[in-house]
Chain A
Amino acid sequence: MDLTRVNEIIDKYHAEKSSLIGIFQDIQAEYRYLPKDAITRVVERLDIPLTQAYMVATFYKSFSLVPRGEHEIHVCLGTACHLRGGQRLVENFERILAVKAGGTTPDMKFTLETVNCLGACALAPLVRVDQKNYAKVTGDKITKIIKEYRPDGEGTTHGKD
């Protein structure tokens, strides 16, 4: 793969060993995962063991070693959202998208994630798709949310309508 962008990111952090997490965050944002070649380049340029990079890449929730979907759905499971039915939303998203939380749909359109708190508890239960927040979501609104991002794909209908 072309590593120009990876090199630019490493340069931005002056290839400092302590900036490993920041570098990975930028790579993750660029590619929606940490490609193997990119990790190898980071390891070479920061002069750190591959094991350390692997440990960091697998420890933190924001990194993924496999490509993520085009849109990331985050169902908030902070306490307030939990009390107002967040868990049921996760189950309904799982059923409608036919993936488990943490998974990506086969068409690479969506990755479904749960998040511990987005700090917008007045809007509970909250769903965030990419940067857009959906407030006070109920089970029946899920298909509408998905349709916004996948107007004519699979899994956009449920029930009898």
Chain B
Amino acid sequence: MEKIKTPKELEKLRQEILAGQKKDAIEVTVCGGTGCLSNGSEQVAAAISEEMKKQGLNGKAVLKKTGCHGFCERGPLVTINPMDIFYQRVAENDAADIVSETLIKGKTVERLLYVDPASQKKIARHDEIPFYKHQFRIALRNNGRIDPTDIRAYLANGGYAGLAKAVTSMTPVEVIATVEKSGLRGRGGGGFPAGKKWRSCREAKGDVRYLVCNGDEGDPGAFMDRSIMEGDPHSVIEGMIIAAFAIGAHQGYLYVRNEYPLAVQNLGIALEQAREYGFLGKNIFNSGFDFEIRINRGGGAFVCGESSALMASLEGRAGEPRAKYIRSVERGLWDKPTNLNNVETYANVPEIIARGADWFASYGTAGSKGTKVFSLVGKVKNTGLVEVPMGITLRDIIFKIGGGILNDREFKAVQTGGPSGGCIPKSMIDMPVDFDELTKAGSMMGSGGMIVMDDTDCMVDVAKYFTKFLEEESCGKCTPCREGTRRMKEILIDISEGRGTEESIPVLEELAEALTLGSLCALGSTAANPFLSTLRYFRDEYEAHIKEKRCPAGVCKELITYRILEDVCTGCHRCFRECPQQAVSGEVKKPHQIDKDKCIKCGICFDVCKFNAVAKK
């Protein structure tokens, strides 16, 4: 492969690729995101490929395996272009019909279409499905549309044009000014203006500079970075190269979570291809600018999402944060000026350069420009990844895109910002979502996890869950965090197990203050948020646990009992057979009972009952 040296050559290549993709050829894409893969999309793709051969379609239709389409709830997903047909929950034995009906006759296979729960109508076109219709995709622009292992697919969609423009027609300072003007803020959690960070790094003293991409996505319930790294790795790499040109770095590091093997694999393939085409290496686009990237796998420590801990890990040490009297843009990796942004931030950069700062800034709110990817999970109908302009309301995200609450239960709260964030109650559902509004509400944007909760979720349990998480992940370097999270966890366990006293809440509040003020890094200084925000909006639930020894949501094991509703029980005997404790008694076709003394509250009877006859109280 001849290296690409000018924007003209790049455009020529792009036209060639487009011409090579036969205009009239039908394109079938099968989602290869983690959700769909687990549901068997690999087998679906193999079956479709087999059928295409069998039914003589070779050359007339192409099959592509793409990254995550976002609508994980309905996987495995298959789309067919140019007709824009969207099939969901596709199984291997649907392959023959897809090929014979859709690819050959151009008809839709009715049973595979998405049914809109609101109107009960079948929707054939991908862009008319509510889940997609209300989204606007910048960071996820190629996700689910291209084969992530094929650089030519990325190039066909305008890939590396931003890089070509930056290094051949702009100065590094102009690139920084463009990013500043666009208003892009860091998508990893803090929301620090990206352009400002780049400028500080460029202006810091020193001849060697480093560039780091934080792909150590650790927030539970957030998987957008994973999807981008897996589904469109070149967008991250292109963003990194542009940023490196802007700050004057020649070596970059991609720090990827070890639990994401497919991301590591696809990024590795993409780096190899970028080198081959001359987008990485020496003298990129004949500009005299050299840059290389290497991948480092994380070791499985949440705290390594913190920049100074991540850099310690890159140096081969334990990932403990340091006090940031001197910022890492001045002294970071190996004490050299280092710029660190996260995956989604870099993925936005090529589009900002290619389309201009004003285009990007035309989306979003005054203080938060552009879009944000959220992972919408928990008790919501349409679990998946959504990208929306900043400023959209929580209601629009959860109800319009998310389709409402699972089983039509009552919406209770939404948790944002991961373990450092907080719970936002139902009363605030019409608030616009951006960096500043979420902070005002006592939560934060974080990396974009959005966990929807219903009336069967206990807020004390949620606070306990996150506090326990943070206690386990605290690196142990500073006392307020190491001891504070542990004591808070113990008191929350006490409350959830019926040992709370009137002292519990005041002591928790005192610990929360000490943690917030006294911790070295953001893990500790935000660790009290899950407790503080749930207390702020759900104090009555804490009080029910403490004073009445009752868990209103029916979650806290020590405070509930399982019982069988006699008038609902059909006597199917299933729970009788499954109970590991032989705690269920009763004859076939007659109502059963649970012996409370034998019951260990494992919940298996609740799981297996098809008639909702097992109640938690």
A contact residues vs B (CB 8 Å cutoff):
16-22, 24-25, 52, 55-56, 59-63, 77-80, 82-83, 85, 88, 91-92, 95-96, 115-124, 126, 133, 135, 138-140, 158-161
Contact = CB atoms under 8 A, between A and B. Distances in A.
A122 B576 contact: no
Interface string B582-605: 100000000000000000101110
Nearest to A48: B316
A-B complex: 8 closest residue pairs judged by Cβ atoms: A60-B299, A119-B223, A122-B72, A61-B300, A121-B377, A78-B220, A79-B221, A138-B607
B615 to A, nearest CB: 16
B297 A85 contact: no
Contacts of B453: 83
B347 interface: no
B296 A21 contact: yes
Contacts of B378: 79-80, 83, 121
Given A80-B377, A83-B378, A123 B602 contact: no
A20 B416 CA distance: 35
B218 A116 contact: yes
Contacts of A61: 299-301
Contact of A77 (B220, B300, B473): B220
A92 B34 CA distance: 25
Nearest to A23: B316
A71 to B, nearest CB: 17
A140 B607 contact: yes
B261 to A, nearest CB: 8
Nearest to A119: B223
Given A78-B221, A139-B604, A140-B604, A121 B383 contact: yes
21 contacts: A21-B313, A25-B258, A56-B317, A59-B318, A60-B318, A62-B299, A77-B220, A80-B220, A116-B220, A117-B221, A117-B222, A119-B34, A119-B223, A119-B226, A120-B72, A120-B223, A138-B604, A139-B608, A159-B578, A160-B579, A161-B578
Contacts of B221: 78-80, 117, 121
Contacts of B332: none
Nearest to A115: B259
Contacts of A133: 34, 37-38
Given A123-B38, A139-B604, 16 more contacts: A21-B296, A77-B220, A83-B378, A88-B603, A92-B602, A92-B604, A96-B580, A119-B222, A119-B226, A120-B38, A120-B223, A122-B377, A124-B377, A126-B38, A140-B604, A159-B577
Interface residues of B, number: 61
Contacts of A96: 580
Contacts of B360: none
A122 to B, nearest CB: 3
B603 A139 contact: yes
Contact of B318 (A56, A85, A92): A56
B607 A139 contact: yes
Contacts of B500: none
A121 B223 contact: yes
A122 B415 contact: no
Contacts of A160: 576-577, 579, 582
A20 to B, nearest CB: 4
A140 B579 CA distance: 9
Interface in B159-179: none
Contacts of B578: 140, 159, 161
B32 interface: no
Nearest to A121: B377
A127 B222 CA distance: 17
Given A118-B34, A160-B577, A135 B319 contact: no
Contacts of B579: 159-160
Contacts of A115: 259
B219 interface: yes
A116 B469 contact: yes
A85 B577 CA distance: 21
B315 A18 contact: yes
